[in-house]
Amino acid sequence: MKPSLTLLSALIFSQAAFGAAKNYDDGLFSPFSDLSALSATEYTTLRHPVFPKHSVRVKRTTDWCDTTVGAYTGYIDVEAKHFFFYFFESRNDPSNDDVIFWTNGGPGCSSSLGLFMELGPCRITDGNGTKFHQQSWNSNANIFFIDQPVGVGFSYAEYGEHVSTTEEAAEDIASFVYVFFEHFTQFKGRPFHLAGESYAGRYLPVFAAYIYDQNKKLEKAGVAPINLTSVMIGNGYTHFPSMVESYYDMSCTSASVAPRLGVRDCVRMKQAQIRCKEWLKKSCVDVFDEFGCQAAESFCNSELSEPLESSGWNPYDISRKCDGSVETTLCYPVTKHISHYLDRPEVRNLIGVDPVLSSHNFSSCSNRVSTDFIYKLDSLQLSHHYVASLLEHGVRVLVYVGVNDWICNHVGNLKWVLDLDWSGKEGFARQHDAIWGPPKPKLEEEEMSRPTRSPKHGGFGKYRSYGGLTFATINDAGHMVPWDQPDASLVLLENWLAKKASW
């Protein structure tokens, strides 16, 4: 989750937690081709000769979240950096189904938001713990959630180690993915999909590029390549100039809902939009001028972002007012329930959180990580060229957007997708939007803190597709599509995994 443009300008493992951990120097093949062989009471530590600086600590986590499938939690350790992850097997056919990697955005937000609020196998909607989520993305796929970059959620570092750019994070994630597949050989060769939302629109194209390029190096070392199949970007922050320009359209036209700002504000914003478009292109896109780009972003943020952000409307769903504050709840009080749940000592012990974090309260988003990325100007970098190159190399890309999101909206996302310079550009532009659906029969809904809104426009949204690129919108959904429209979210995923030519 990307808190807002305004906010953006914003130990060694203790084995005592589970007893002495089992250690394996496993050569090229993991002893755990079947994850069920893992211990539920202590970590198993795995190493690999191709990755001498990396190891895996993992355990089965039983009677928790989704008792119908295998659940596993642990850390992948990269020297002094320790990345926490949750892994859930598919409810359908774990031995054959695809594998999905999910990360939230921020930069600096924990993927526990995706797990417990959006698309995971259980949800936390109040103070009573987890509830089974019928429309989880593990309905037909194996999925893991990772707290990254280091310093986010339950991931931590020693000796002042930190990550402050997407490219630095990509090196760790590429290693994470390879180590995972090498140790858990039952998933080798499966179609592998990188998915996430918001600032993940910046992360994922870079992560995918690192994984793709590292495949060639690892093949020479006798390591099986990752079957990188697709990238799925939800309400992404991929090309920030397009997004900044679109804030006028989302605030002052009926691009989504009725205009949210008054006439005088909108006239000023329109005048600023023209200047911003020219300034951002000159200083941030054509040539990256550090000082010029920072000045342009500051001006455009003040003129195009702050009016809506100070209006009381929810920047993640402008069909409604913010519930609470962005700073404390991200406009969704459920985030506080998630934090309180993950602060329970018995929960931390169950999922294997390192005891070194026992004195630290859980935070959905890390201000320190966000600040580090801002300081290095990472949020002003562009990831669309990575998308174009991935498409040329045969990696499919899905860009999906809830139409009520303001912060990473459909207007700005469609603009950069249409402008993307790749061999399929003209073919994609010639495609007409089509309604996707009709929706599947509605699944039994879990008890939720508020009723799910039903789409009113016929079908779940619109889409267009050409070559390996698909752009889809989801009606009556905001920034967190699976939270607002869990049925549509699951159908979207299943259509994508099935490679359907028509939705």
- Please give the pLDDT value at position 457: 52
- Please give the pLDDT value at position 442: 53
Higher-pLDDT residue of 290 and 32 is: 290
- Please give the pLDDT value at position 349: 93
Instruction: Look at 25-29, 109-113, 258-262, 355-359 and tell me which has the smallest mean pLDDT.
Output: 25-29
- Please give the pLDDT value at position 1: 55
Instruction: Give me the residues paired with residue 206 across strands.
Output: none
Report, as an integer, the average pLDDT of 303-316.
96
Rounded alpha-carbon distances, angstroms, from residue 386 to 201, 210, 420, 421, 422: 11, 10, 10, 11, 11
* Residues in contact with 310: Cβ distance below 8 Å, sequence separation at least 6, in sequence order: none
- Please give the pLDDT value at position 27: 38
Predicted confidence (pLDDT) at residue 299 exceeds the cutoff of 80: yes
**Does the pTM exceed 0.85?**
yes
Amino acid at 121: P
Question: What does the buried/exposed string (b/e) look like for 237-263 if buried means 16 or more CB atoms within 10 Å of the residue's CB?
Answer: bbbbbbbbbbbbbbbbeebbbebbbee
Q: Give yes or no: 198 in active site.
A: yes
Predicted confidence (pLDDT) at residue 263 exceeds the cutoff of 90: yes
Q: How far apart are CA 382 and CA 378, in angstroms?
A: 9
Predicted confidence (pLDDT) at residue 438 exceeds the cutoff of 80: no
Predicted confidence (pLDDT) at residue 14 exceeds the cutoff of 70: no
Task: Band the pLDDT of 23: cuts 50, 70, 90.
Answer: low
Report, as an integer, the average pLDDT of 465-480.
97
Find the helix or strand (DSSP H, E) in which 329 lies.
Answer: helix 326-329
Closest CA to 58 of 13, 96, 97: 13
Predicted confidence (pLDDT) at residue 345 exceeds the cutoff of 60: yes
Task: Band the pLDDT of 22: cuts 50, 70, 90.
Answer: low
Closest CA to 285 of 380, 377, 207: 380
Task: Band the pLDDT of 251: cuts 50, 70, 90.
Answer: very high
Q: Write the pLDDT tens digit of every residue in 387-410.
A: 999 999 999 999 999 999 999 999
Predicted confidence (pLDDT) at residue 54 exceeds the cutoff of 90: no
Closest CA to 280 of 379, 201, 198: 379
Which runs of consecutive H residues, i.e. helices, occur in 377-459?
A: 384-392, 410-419, 425-430
Q: Write the pLDDT tens digit of every residue in 199-223.
A: 999 999 999 999 999 998 888 877 7
- CB count within 10 Å of CB 267 equals 11
Question: What does the buried/exposed string (b/e) look like for 429-439 if buried means 16 or more CB atoms within 10 Å of the residue's CB?
Answer: eeeeeeebbee
Q: Give yes or no: 63 in active site.
A: no
Q: Write the pLDDT tens digit of every residue in 276-292.
A: 999 999 999 999 999 99
Helix axes 263-280, 290-300, angle to 10 degrees: 170
Q: Which domains does the chain have, with CATH numbers?
A: 5-221+330-375 (3.40.50.1820)
Q: How far apart are CA 406 and CA 58, in angstroms?
A: 39
- Please give the pLDDT value at position 218: 80
Catalytic residue among 136, 479, 484, 487: 479
- Please give the pLDDT value at position 104: 96
- DSSP annotation of 72 reads E
Predicted confidence (pLDDT) at residue 497 exceeds the cutoff of 90: yes
- CB count within 10 Å of CB 421 equals 8
Q: What does pLDDT average to over the chain? A: 88
Contacts 24+ apart (CB under 8 A), 240-243: 240/284, 240/297, 240/379, 240/380, 240/382, 241/277, 241/280, 241/281, 241/284, 241/285, 241/382, 242/412, 242/413, 242/415, 242/416, 242/419, 243/408, 243/409, 243/412, 243/413
Percentage of the chain beyond pLDDT 90 is 70
Catalytic residue among 198, 230, 242, 379: 198
Catalytic residue among 98, 372, 378, 405: 405
Q: Give yes or no: 405 in active site.
A: yes
Predicted confidence (pLDDT) at residue 419 exceeds the cutoff of 70: yes
Amino acid at 301: N
- Please give the pLDDT value at position 53: 82
- Please give the pLDDT value at position 286: 94
Predicted confidence (pLDDT) at residue 41 exceeds the cutoff of 70: yes
